A and B are shown apart, each in its own frame.
Chain A
């Protein structure tokens, strides 16, 4: 985490959108924005662990928004991240059944000109359920799918990282793993219900 590249907001958005240096961009986000956002969460009753977890969720949501081309630069990155984090924390407090008291505090601390990020964090719960399903796949399946779909590696490159004999074996394994994950998703009632609504 040393000797970091510095980004302007526009450069940061570009680095994330183009995936030229996503890891560097994430490191920059942590260095520049984590402390301010985390202190807000702590101020509103969160523990240090809560603050870290919420900021992590906010960073993932922010990157997702940027990658989908939905970040419109109407607010700066710091404000946007803070706003996402606040909303996630607000929802978390609701879940913890302490909304009455905290809700008031939260509203008092929210500036009028803050961006509306509700649409961006709507499906965080569903994403978390899906992540749990990916984690439930088992290490070898999880890894092969991540290498192929997240790292965009070819079968040949995957051979560098996993102990398979040849590309065809990797291809077959990847196929089975994706089928397995699809099966897990279908068998999850909550997700399947949402899916049916989307398909309609």
Chain B
């Protein structure tokens, strides 16, 4: 009854009489305080857990940002190194002449390939690459299906609104599976920011706990989400990582992607 009172399930007289008991009976009063303390402890544990999850995601974001910055620095270094070595070659007249011929030949090739390139240039974008490479995810229902039955059922029925809603109602009961399904539902509903948050959360949690549950899926669909979001600079390091890892579940899918097109889209976005 005291727990019902605590949960505000009691009405009218029952509340008044219980409050009377708590006020006058020391034992009941002590019990009441302990119940309150227990509930406060639960609330504090929930808050602590929620902050811990954000902390893990923030650390992961820092790591990704640092990785992308390092990759850009490496690219810039290699470009300036090759520019430097060409500078040495052009120091002599003969080399300069040869260089000029080479440039002319290259220009001819460029003119011949011009029309195709212009078409390619105009047609390639993050969005078009997303359309080309996105395919839905068929759920293996044996993975944790008992705990998220309603969500799994909604996902299999392609009821994205329900999947998203179930995912939204729990912060603490989140698992990598609920985050993944929510992320996929958001991707289907073109809510890319939200999808990205879900996939990053999975990566952060795995990183924090040393686990790999839905890790490969999250990485691949995170990259796809960035493409959909027209932010190819964020997608590229992830796709390159997957391509370099032969054991990655999505290695083959990424291997089939045209990195030329991806880099072209990246160039256009960075212009």
* 7 tightest Cβ-Cβ pairs between the two chains A and B: A150-B46, A130-B41, A134-B45, A3-B193, A30-B58, A1-B61, A161-B173
Which residues of A in the span 32-60 have a Cβ within 8 Å of any Cβ on B? Answer: 34, 52, 55-56, 59-60
| B interface residues, Cβ below 8 angstroms from A | 3, 7, 26, 29-31, 33-35, 37-52, 54-55, 57-61, 146-151, 166, 169-173, 193, 196-197, 200, 234
Question: Are B169 and A146 touching (Cβ within 8 A)?
Answer: no
A–B pairs, 28, beta carbons within 8 Å: A1-B61, A1-B197, A1-B200, A26-B54, A27-B57, A30-B58, A59-B51, A60-B51, A64-B44, A130-B40, A133-B41, A134-B42, A145-B42, A147-B170, A150-B46, A151-B46, A157-B169, A160-B169, A161-B147, A161-B166, A162-B147, A163-B149, A181-B42, A191-B37, A195-B30, A195-B33, A198-B33, A199-B26
Q: How many Å from the CB of B38 to the closest CB on chain A?
A: 5
Determine if A135 is an interface residue (Cβ-Cβ < 8 Å).
yes
Partner of A161, one of B35, B44, B51, B170: B170
| Chain A residue at minimal CB-CB distance from B147 | A163
| Other contacts beyond A30-B58, A134-B42, A179-B3: 18, CB < 8 A | A1-B197, A1-B200, A27-B58, A34-B58, A56-B48, A130-B41, A130-B44, A147-B170, A150-B43, A150-B172, A151-B173, A160-B166, A161-B166, A181-B41, A182-B31, A182-B35, A185-B37, A185-B41
Q: Within 8 Å CB of A195, what residues of B?
A: 30, 33-34, 37
* Of B3, B55, B173, the contact of A52 (CB 8 Å cutoff): B55
Would you give the shortest CB distance from B120 to chain A, in whole angstroms?
29
Interface code A97-117, partner B: CB below 8 Å = 1, 0 otherwise? 000000000000000000000
Q: For residue B4, which residue of chain A has the nearest CB?
A: A175
Q: Is A27 in contact with B42, judged by CB distance below 8 angstroms?
A: no
Q: Does A153 contact B (CB under 8 A)?
A: yes
In the assembled complex, how far is the CB of residue B240 from the closest CB belonging to chain A, in whole angstroms? 19
Classify the interface of chain A: helix, strand, loop or mixed.
helix
A31 interfacial contact with B, CB 8 Å: yes
Interface size on A (CB < 8 Å)? 49
B44, B148, B151, most chain A CB atoms within 10 A:
B44
Q: How many Å lie between the Cα of A31 and that of B65 in the bound state?
A: 13
B59 partner residues in chain A, CB cutoff 8 A: 52
Chain A neighbourhood of B172, CB < 8 A: 143, 146-147, 150-151
Q: Check A182–B34 contact: CB distance below 8 A.
A: yes
Which residues of chain A are near B55, meaning CB under 8 Å?
Answer: 30, 52, 55-56
Q: Is A127 an interface residue (CB 8 A)?
A: yes
Interface flag for A94 (CB, 8 Å) = no
Query: Contact between B169 and A153 (Cβ–Cβ < 8 Å)?
Result: yes
